[in-house]
Structure 1
Amino acid sequence: MSTRRTFLKSAAVATSAVGATTLGAPFVHAQSTKKITWRLQTYAGPALAEHVIKPSIDAFNKAANGEMEIQLYFADQLVPTGELFRAMQKGTIDAVQSDDDSIAAPVDVAVFGGYFPFATRYSLDVPTLFHQWGLNKIWEEAYAEVKGVTWLGAGSWDPCNFATVQPIRSLADLKGKRVFTFPTAGKFLARFGVIPVTLPWEDVEVAVQTGELDGIAWSGITEDYTVGWANVTKYFLTNNISGAWIGSYFANSEKWAQVPEHLKTLFRLCMDSSHYYRQHWYWGGEAKLRVEGTKLQLTSIPAEEWKTVEDEALKFWDEIAKTSPRCAKVIEIFKQYNALMTKAGPPYRY
């Protein structure tokens, strides 16, 4: 909290100083002589950020050669995750790495950020949907209607599995479980008796230890081990409600416009580098830790019973499709894409 207060005070002073500089000197002169400095906050805590963003930001800062520096902040370090969009919109922070759902982005497609039930089966589904099936254009269109924030692109993360204190071997075992998860995923899981709980990311481990939480449905097994959740839970459910988290990069529109084109290109390349690293880090980690991990015992819900969850997801899709024409368009793409993948057969769908 002390860090946030200090940050907000310095941000206010910096904003005033920028305003005075803008009035007193030509913009071109200011940009040519002053290094650009951004504050970027990620959804991830320090241990996870070491993999999901820090290498790419370190690379950017090195390659920018003193022209620009991105200062990286971790989950809830400066601004609570649920307030990130508004803070970025106001210019309190300059950029964000998160999902649309968690940061309460005021766009209809925000519901698809994070874990939208069964929209994806594998991590490669996300870039394919965005780059080949038109989701990029739809997201650009949605965010063009919101002042102050520019959506820069999406990538895939890990699947959404349960890590719990008590074993989950049937749908009945989900009832009454207090689980840390994402907003839309929580709404869906509530249909099976799960009680979604919202907490600051850094408080999750302690909440499991104190019994405030019964489990977590926020990641795959790689993150459970990386961030320490495997130390406080005992079981890992192999069934997942999504094959990949959809996360994005965002920037304050005014600050993005001030970045020279060559540095914009560099930033996008570093985004792609981060997306690529996560593809193999998660893919390998999920398999290796299921087989060789010693902290979590694997459990499964029988396929015929789990089909109840998959069937309910399709009903959930149809409900979301009714919320806006754009959401209906996204749902139709999900349906067509998954139908094609099913027809393609292994290894696309089994």
Structure 2
Amino acid sequence: MTNRRDFLKKAGLATVGAAGASTLAAPAVHAQSTIKWRLQTYAGPALAEHVIKPAIDAFNKAANGEMVIELYYADQLVPTGELFRAMQKGTIDAVQSDDDSIAAPVDVSVFGGYFPFGTRYSLDVPVLFNQYGLNEIWEEAYDEVDGVKWLSAGAWDPCHFATKDPIRSLADLKGKRVFTFPTAGRFLSRFGVVPVSLPWEDIEVAMQTGELDGIAWSGITEDYTVGWADVTNYFLTNNISGAWCGSFFANEDRWNEVPEHLKTLFKLCMDSSHYYRQHWYWGGEAQLRTEGTKLELTTIPDEEWATVEQEAYKFWDEIAEQSDRSKRVVDILKKYAKTMEKAGKPYRYG
């Protein structure tokens, strides 16, 4: 009976097919338009070649015409400080930057970019997010803001000074006009540094004209890559952070419109971007310190630099007082720091 019913069904379909051959012979094709996004990064063209372009190129190739992401560079469509609002309004679809620089209206934004001594090595960032609970905290914070979806955080390079004049003591920092990130500048001002905010593309000229005395925006890899090593003379080996923390964000409505398989593809490409930076920066920092010919290395003695670290921990406690969530992040950073120090080499030296 089962076979007979199947036969009758097929026969019936065949009859319908014969009667309406002209219709079934040319099945309807539902045209699906390509999803197009505009993504702006914090980085200029030379830097973007490494920190994001390989991942976006890979995504566009793998998406096979279903989705295309157009990549724009620092300040190209919107000033960096206005990126969050532009993304929230839908003026642009996605952003790669730190929370701090785009003025994200969440309490955790202070931890994006270079939070002083929050990390010592680039691997600290993914461990903190994936194993110590920062992923969940960031999702919680951005869920309270309409219109923007936080997607993923990763590590970049450490924060060092590149300057015209040598820095060999904390006294040498006093009065120096330095291009840096908002929170990093807020912290460094305790040591007499004068933080300066300028469009990214103007930094090289500002160094040449004397508007700036130095840059505390990157490690030595970026100094060489973007041309800053050509307009500075010295590189301070001490850093206030072992890794910049940056993220990918998207307009919430646009993200929700993306099919699940393309969301998965984009997440994989973000992970690819995070991985690329891990080895590109790590190798570059060492190679250019030892083989680079443009910058002379200087160092502030450990005992003097220890006072900067001590001040950072005071800064942590001040930030912790800003909100319950900020305190939770600071508590995680403290727990992580103790774990790494207790673990010793190779997790922490000295």
TM-score normalized by the length of structure 2? 0.91
In 1, Cα distance between equivalents of 2:31 and 2:75: 33
> Is 2:26 the counterpart of 1:64?
no
Aligned counterpart, 2:295: 296
In 1, Cα distance between equivalents of 2:32 and 2:131: 41
Deviations 1:54-103 (A, max 9, x none): 00000000000000000000000000000000000000000000000000
Q: 1:237 Cα deviation (Å)?
A: 0.1
Matched position secondary structure for 1:88:
helix
Aligned counterpart, 2:229: 230
Aligned counterpart, 1:282: 281
Aligned counterpart, 1:109: 108
Aligned counterpart, 2:27: none
In 2, Cα distance between equivalents of 1:51 and 1:70: 17
Aligned counterpart, 1:127: 126
Aligned counterpart, 1:220: 219
Q: 1:320 Cα deviation (Å)?
A: 0.1
Written as runs of structure 1 = structure 2, the 5 A alignment for 1:155-194 is 155-194=154-193
Aligned counterpart, 1:76: 75
Q: Which amino acid aligns with 2:259?
A: P
Deviations 1:6-30 (A, max 9, x none): xxxxxxxxxxxxxxxxxxxxxxxxx
In 1, Cα distance between equivalents of 2:209 and 2:165: 14
Matched position secondary structure for 1:60:
helix
Aligned counterpart, 2:310: 311
Aligned counterpart, 2:39: 40
In 2, Cα distance between equivalents of 1:84 and 1:149: 11
In 2, Cα distance between equivalents of 1:56 and 1:340: 33
In 2, Cα distance between equivalents of 1:336 and 1:60: 37
Deviations 1:157-184 (A, max 9, x none): 0000000000000000000000000000
Deviations 1:92-125 (A, max 9, x none): 0000000000000000000000000000000000
Matched position secondary structure for 1:169:
coil
Q: Which amino acid aligns with 1:164?
A: T
Structure 1's unaligned 5+ residue stretches are: 1-30
In 2, Cα distance between equivalents of 1:298 and 1:174: 16
* Matched pairs, number: 321
Identity %: 80
Stretches (4+) displaced over 3 A? none
Matched position secondary structure for 1:38:
strand
Deviations 1:231-263 (A, max 9, x none): 000000000000000000000000000000000
In 2, Cα distance between equivalents of 1:318 and 1:55: 39
Deviations 1:263-316 (A, max 9, x none): 000000000000000000000000000000000000000000000000000000
Larger radius of gyration: 2
Structure 2's unaligned 5+ residue stretches are: 1-29
Aligned counterpart, 1:266: 265
Matched position secondary structure for 2:189:
helix
Q: 1:32 Cα deviation (Å)?
A: 5.8
Aligned counterpart, 2:25: none
In 2, Cα distance between equivalents of 1:33 and 1:134: 39
Q: Which amino acid aligns with 1:128?
A: V
Q: 1:33 Cα deviation (Å)?
A: 1.3
Q: Which amino acid aligns with 1:133?
A: Y
Aligned counterpart, 2:345: 346
Aligned counterpart, 1:257: 256
In 2, Cα distance between equivalents of 1:209 and 1:141: 44
In 2, Cα distance between equivalents of 1:108 and 1:162: 27
In 2, Cα distance between equivalents of 1:269 and 1:147: 25
Matched position secondary structure for 2:150:
strand
Aligned counterpart, 2:196: 197
Q: Which amino acid aligns with 1:58?
A: D
> Is 2:136 the counterpart of 1:142?
no
Q: Which amino acid aligns with 1:244?
A: A
Aligned counterpart, 1:16: none
Aligned counterpart, 1:23: none
Q: 1:325 Cα deviation (Å)?
A: 0.2
Q: Which amino acid aligns with 1:43?
A: Y
TM-score normalized by the length of structure 1? 0.91
